[in-house]
């Protein structure tokens, strides 16, 4: 049986950073942010060549162990077979190990590029299958759903398969991320979580998560109470005490703030009038970045322009 055919031209995929959990929406909520990695993939005659610029340029592997390459390979297997060779160029802007979805971005870039460079790829790997594959590689759907779909997403698993819905965040929202210099492994943060939690805390989180959907999409004035969490942030404090201290300091000032994903980045959700002031609240040791919301999600773009 003949394998798939591939396009001769290179394809470029742009993938956004994401913030998961958003306080009470543990392992379910995700928000796509206007900070992007670009990956260009071309099918070559033989071999594998990986070039990396930006984040991770000095530390990431340039072989089959690279997460973009591993994701490409997995998607190509589902699409019917591997190309003879690959050239992969990564321009990385999403900080690594900071809770901004860098691994999800790499995964989504790889599988999107594999689909785009394969003739008939969208028919062989539709959007539902993309989410399922990205979740299988990543292990949970919250970040990959937001990365693929953009906007604000709620993800879950049903019958072992990942599912997600996308909603439009309120246009007035301005995310500000406070990124520390030192990374934190997701496995380290997740390992601090208890196997059970008090029923009263679970009930409180369920109510706040429901409220957060309304606050993020229609009533941002409710974001401070809606982002209260009792399930994961305080348990992770030993791994990132400075992050939890900043969250508490911001919230005491009336700023809706949460740990971004597994941390240690802190995400504040503010508006145009307050964003610059909020950006100055963290003090030394934090890189404050005011970002846009991303509405498009992972996208195949023209090769030229628009960096």
44 and 191 belong to one structural domain: no
Does 307 reside within a domain? no
* 12 contacts 38 by C-beta, under 8 angstroms: yes
Examine the domain organization and report whether 53 and 162 are in the same domain: yes
The reply to whether 209 and 158 lie within a common domain is no
Domain annotation covers residue 203 = yes
Q: Are residues 158 and 226 in the same domain?
A: no
Q: What is the CATH number of the domain that holds 240?
A: 3.30.70.890
In a domain, 195, yes or no: yes
Asked whether residue 140 falls in the same domain as residue 240, the answer is no
CA 244 to chain centre: 20
Tokens of 188: 């380290």
Instruction: At 261, list the tokens.
Output: 């994903």
Residue 277 placed within a domain: yes
What angle in degrees, to the nearest 10, is found between the helix axes of 142-149 and 102-117?
50
Closest to 31 in 3D by CA, of 16, 52, 45: 16
Structure token pair of residue 8: 């001769």
Q: For residue 159, give both structure tokens.
A: 């019958």
CB 253 within 8 A of CB 283: no
Asked if residues 96 and 57 have their Cβ atoms less than 8 Å apart, the reply is: no
- The answer on 66 and 127 residing in a single domain is yes
% of the chain residues with pLDDT over 90: 93
47 is in an annotated binding site: no
Domain-embedded: residue 5: no
> Tell me, what CATH number does 82's domain have?
3.30.230.10
- Confirm or deny that 96 is annotated as ligand binding: yes
| Residues paired with 15 in a beta bridge | 37
pLDDT tens readout for residues 136-179: 999 999 999 999 999 999 999 999 999 999 999 999 999 999 99
Are 108 and 137 spatial neighbours (Cβ–Cβ below 8 Å)?
no
Whether residue 109 lies inside any domain: the answer is yes
Could you tell me which residues come within 8 angstroms of residue 52 by beta carbon, excluding any fewer than 6 positions away?
A: 60, 62, 90, 92
Q: What CA dihedral angle connects 219, 31, 99 and 298, to 10 degrees?
A: -160
Ligand-binding annotation for 104, yes or no, is yes
Nearest to 212 by CA among 196, 201, 200, 224: 224
Q: Tell whether 46 is in a known binding site.
A: no
What is the pTM assigned to this prediction? 0.95
Residue 99 among known ligand-binding residues? yes
pLDDT tier, 188 (very low <50, low <70, confident <90, very high otherwise): confident
* 17 and 143 share one domain: yes
**Residue 183 confidence (pLDDT) above 90:** no
Are 184 and 152 part of one and the same domain? no
Q: Tell me: is residue 66 an annotated ligand-binding position.
A: no
Domain count, the chain: 2
Beta bridge partners of 175: 269
Q: Give residue-wise pLDDT tens across range 9-36.
A: 999 999 999 999 999 999 999 999 999 9
Q: Which residues pair with 118 in a beta bridge?
A: 6
Same domain, 25 and 159: yes
Query: Residue 226 domain-assigned?
Result: yes
Residue 302 marked in a binding site:
no
In a domain, residue 119? The reply is yes
Q: Is the pLDDT of residue 304 over 80?
A: no
Which residues lie closer than 8 Å to 140 by C-beta, 6 or more apart?
A: 27
285 is in which domain, residue-wise?
Answer: 173-290
Average pLDDT across the chain, whole number: 95
Residues 64 and 141 in one domain: yes
Residues 44 and 65 in one domain: yes
Q: Cα–Cα distance between 61 and 51 in angstroms, integer? A: 10
pLDDT, one tens digit per residue, over 246-297 is: 999 999 999 999 999 999 999 999 999 999 999 999 988 999 999 999 999 9
129/275 same-domain check: no
Instruction: Say if residue 95 carries a ligand binding annotation.
Output: yes
Q: Please indicate if the annotation marks 105 as binding a ligand.
A: yes
């Amino acid at each position: 049986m003949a394998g798939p055919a591939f396009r001769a031209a290179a394809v470029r995929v742009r993938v956004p950073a994401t913030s998961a959990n958003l306080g009470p929406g543990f392992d379910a909520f995700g928000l796509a942010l206007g900070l992007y990695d670009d990956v260009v993939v071309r099918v070559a005659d033989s071999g594998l060549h990986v070039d990396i610029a930006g984040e991770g340029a000095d530390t990431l592997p340039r072989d089959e162990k690279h997460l973009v390459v591993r994701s490409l390979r997995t998607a190509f297997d589902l699409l019917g077979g591997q190309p003879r060779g690959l050239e992969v160029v990564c321009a990385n802007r999403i900080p690594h190990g900071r809770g901004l979805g860098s691994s999800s971005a790499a995964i989504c870039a790889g599988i999107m590029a594999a689909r785009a460079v394969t003739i008939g790829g969208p028919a062989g790997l539709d959007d539902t299958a993309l989410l399922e594959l990205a979740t299988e590689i990543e292990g949970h759907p919250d970040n990959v759903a937001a990365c693929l779909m953009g906007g604000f997403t709620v993800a879950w698993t049903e019958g072992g398969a990942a599912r997600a819905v996308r909603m439009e965040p309120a246009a007035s929202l301005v995310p500000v991320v406070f990124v520390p210099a030192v990374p934190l492994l997701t496995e380290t943060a997740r390992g601090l979580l208890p196997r059970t939690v008090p029923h009263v805390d679970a009930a409180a989180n369920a109510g706040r998560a429901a409220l957060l959907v309304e606050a993020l999409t229609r009533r941002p004035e409710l974001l401070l109470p809606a982002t209260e969490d009792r399930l994961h942030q305080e348990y992770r404090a030993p791994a990132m005490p400075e992050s939890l201290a900043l969250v508490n300091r911001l919230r005491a000032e009336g700023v809706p703030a949460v740990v971004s994903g597994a941390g240690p980045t802190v995400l504040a959700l503010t508006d145009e009038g307050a964003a610059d002031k909020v950006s100055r609240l963290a003090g030394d040791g934090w890189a404050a970045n005011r970002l846009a919301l991303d509405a498009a999600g992972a996208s195949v773009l023209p090769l030229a322009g628009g960096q």
